[in-house]
Structure 1
């Protein structure tokens, strides 16, 4: 069929994640609860970092950035998905699709780069403790943070512009519950195989580049910790790293499965399930992992509770 004479779609319809059955309604309630927990947990974590005098360090500055990214990520996806489910109207404009793609790619890429910066912070803190205050100044932290946001935004903007310039005339039905680059590529009536290969390569670079830096940092940390004479020093050093390693493992495990699979091995149902875990469940887990295993954060919480009990 000759698609050149067809008008490009400007609106799309999501097939969505859920149907209006009893089981799916319960699952929607669970997702909504996860969203609220992620929102509450990350907002509380941000508040603790901003008000806790013991948490004014580079590590917690980067953690506050991570929480902000998680909040932006869930707000980009869940409210729209919830309104679609409740109103039974799964329509989104091309501009709305572009906004979703830009923000999800920015937050995903930003978290990828931020975890790398955080591993460097732990490397300097443990392997070069006497030089920590010299290397990780406030100016350095601000520059690293700006680099993360600019790099992630630029990467997202390139993909967003490239996708929105494509003609969409095959169908306007998206087999997802939010807009992604791969789902829109399937709807384009132009040749996209070259771009798909480039997208796959970019995903590999964005994942393998940072994970290589993280592995190098933690290999150096491990060698340094094993050389410590003090058992208490080893325990404290591992304690500051274990939360970060848990988040890195969850994020990169899910992201690798989401982005590095060839298109021939993808199914829409797999993509939906992985998207739920990456973009909704993970933002809920991050503040739990960092707060429950962090004595500094727990100490601030105990101070808060003690202050509240005295005021009552």
Structure 2
């Protein structure tokens, strides 16, 4: 009699079940990719995200000036801040710095904050969701009650509270945004794992004598990560907006020479009457970056949803 943990050739019925599941998973991935390529929203979102990442990475080569240079200092007065021109495409700020260069360098800050905060939040959330989804029972109850308490506070207010407690720094902003994402990832992974635990392939593996740890880590967890990946894309859009909001409130890094879109908006409030362009370009950059990740995330969600398969 064959041991439960031994798999034979492709003629073995148990091996055939595994191969059929792998083939189905592959077809789902190909179908999702095909629908993404045909979805205009996904294409637009991908192009916006690609543009945002390219600008952030290539900012030192794309920017005509350093973000701290003041090429127009002699032409700027409290009542006269030059707007867009042939020499300065986005105009100058109140200190005579090139606005285009600062917007381009500001993309680097937003990308760093978004990626680091996402990694922090997703890692902690996945661990909590894995514990709750794998063990269930009292472990699930404890983890979910902690998650519920974190979700009881609005996300932005939670981030403001955490950043204020940790102090004014870029690290504090990244930790604050990451902490607010923990309960979201935990609930999504936990719910997905609970659904996968009752599926046919998990029950079949258990009935064949496969250990519970192997079933969870090798079968249930990999098949539960699709919603987490989608949420990660959407969380990047939220992180960019939250980072701008915290910087607008003065909770980001203390160095005003470092360009950050939210701080740029905050610094231009008193100049809106005479230099409206100072608020337009950083605000537009925030909107486009967040829109790109949102469109891409929503398209991924629809592409990976079995209900949309023909």
User: Could you state the TM-score of these two structures normalised by the residue count of structure 1?
Assistant: 0.31
Structure with the higher helix share, 1 or 2: 1
TM-score normalized by structure 2?
0.32
Q: Of the two, which has the highest radius of gyration?
A: 2
